[in-house]
Structure 1
Amino acid sequence: MFKLRKILPLITLVFLFGLNANAQDAKKNKKSDLYVTGGLEIIFSGNTGLKMAGQEINSGVMRFAPVINWQTIFNADFGNRFGLFSGIGIRNVGMIFDVPTDHVEDNVDGPVRKKVRSYNLGIPVGFKVGNLHGFFLYAGYEFEIPVQYKEKTFVSERKTDKFSVWFTDRVNYQHSLMVGLQFPYGTNLKFKYYLNDYFNSSWGDNQSKMKGTDLNYNQITGNVFYVSLNFSLFRNTKFYYSEYEKKHTFPQS
Structure 2
Amino acid sequence: MNFIRYTMLIAGLAATTGLKAQQNDTLETSTEVKKKVSYHFHIYAPPKPRQGYVTAGGNGPLLSFAKVTNNGEHVRNVPRFTMFFNVGTNYNYDFSKNFGLFTGLNIKNIGLITKPNDSVKLKQRVYTLGVPLGFKVGNLRDGFFFFAGGEYDLAFNYKEKYFLHGDKKSKFNEWFSDRTDLLMPSVFAGFRFPPGFGVKAQYYLNDFFNKDYAETVNGVKTTPYKDIKANMIFVTLSYNFGGSFKCKTHDYKETKTKYRKGTKVIIEKRTEIEDK
- TM-score for the superposition, normalised by structure 1: 0.74
Distance (whole Å) between structure 2 residues aligned to residue 75 and residue 208 of structure 1: 47
CA shift at 1:114, angstroms?
Answer: 0.4
Matched, 1:189 2:199: yes
CA shift at 1:67, angstroms?
Answer: 0.9
CA distance 1:157–1:246, shift in 2 (3 Å): same
> Could you tell me which residue of structure 2 aligns to residue 119 of structure 1?
127
Greater share of strand residues, 1 or 2? 2
Give the conservation status (yes or no) of the 8 Å contact 2:211–2:223: no
Secondary structure of the equivalent of 1:64? strand
Aligned mate of 1:228, from 208, 222, 236 = 236
Secondary structure of the equivalent of 2:97? coil
Give the residue type in structure 1 aligned to 2:97: N
- What percent identity do the matched residue pairs reach? 37
Give the residue type in structure 2 aligned to 1:80: K
Give the conservation status (yes or no) of the 8 Å contact 1:53–1:215: no
CA shift at 1:246, angstroms?
Answer: 2.5
> Could you tell me which residue of structure 2 aligns to residue 174 of structure 1?
184
Distance (whole Å) between structure 1 residues aligned to residue 212 and residue 261 of structure 2: 52
Write the deviation string for residues 199-228 of structure 1: whole angstroms up to 9, x where unpaired: 001113xx157xxxx970233211110100
> Could you tell me which residue of structure 1 aligns to residue 104 of structure 2?
87
Matched, 1:51 2:69: yes
Distance (whole Å) between structure 1 residues aligned to residue 187 and residue 261 of structure 2: 30
Between Structure 1 and Structure 2, whose CA radius of gyration is higher?
A: 2
> Could you tell me which residue of structure 1 aligns to residue 44 of structure 2?
none
Distance (whole Å) between structure 2 residues aligned to residue 93 and residue 245 of structure 1: 33
State the superposition RMSD in angstroms: 2.6
Write the deviation string for residues 45-76 of structure 1: whole angstroms up to 9, x where unpaired: 0102x11133222x121101101111111101
Aligned mate of 2:155, from 116, 137, 146 = 146
Distance (whole Å) between structure 2 residues aligned to residue 215 and residue 76 of structure 1: 46
Give the residue type in structure 2 aligned to 1:149: Y
Equivalent pairs counted in the alignment come to 205
CA distance 1:52–1:215, shift in 2 (3 Å): farther
CA distance 1:79–1:252, shift in 2 (3 Å): farther
CA shift at 1:236, angstroms?
Answer: 3.7
Distance (whole Å) between structure 1 residues aligned to residue 227 and residue 56 of structure 2: 38
Distance (whole Å) between structure 2 residues aligned to residue 67 and residue 131 of structure 1: 31
1:1-253 equivalences under 5 Å are 31-39=49-57, 40-48=59-67, 50-57=68-75, 59-100=76-117, 111-133=119-141, 134-172=143-181, 173-204=183-214, 207-208=215-216, 216-232=224-240, 235-236=242-243, 241-242=252-253, 246-248=256-258, 250-252=259-261
Distance (whole Å) between structure 2 residues aligned to residue 208 and residue 141 of structure 1: 36
Give the conservation status (yes or no) of the 8 Å contact 2:196–2:252: no
Give the residue type in structure 2 aligned to 1:140: G
Give the residue type in structure 2 aligned to 1:223: N
Secondary structure of the equivalent of 2:210? coil
Q: More relative contact order in 1 or in 2 (CA 8 Å, sep 6+)? A: 2
Write the deviation string for residues 164-190 of structure 1: whole angstroms up to 9, x where unpaired: 010011001211110010001011100
Distance (whole Å) between structure 2 residues aligned to residue 118 and residue 153 of structure 1: 15
Structure 1 residue ranges without an equivalent (≥5) = 1-28, 101-109
Distance (whole Å) between structure 2 residues aligned to residue 245 and residue 252 of structure 1: 9
> Could you tell me which residue of structure 1 aligns to residue 27 of structure 2?
none
Give the conservation status (yes or no) of the 8 Å contact 1:42–1:229: yes
Distance (whole Å) between structure 2 residues aligned to residue 53 and residue 132 of structure 1: 47
Distance (whole Å) between structure 2 residues aligned to residue 142 and residue 195 of structure 1: 10
- TM-score for the superposition, normalised by structure 2: 0.68
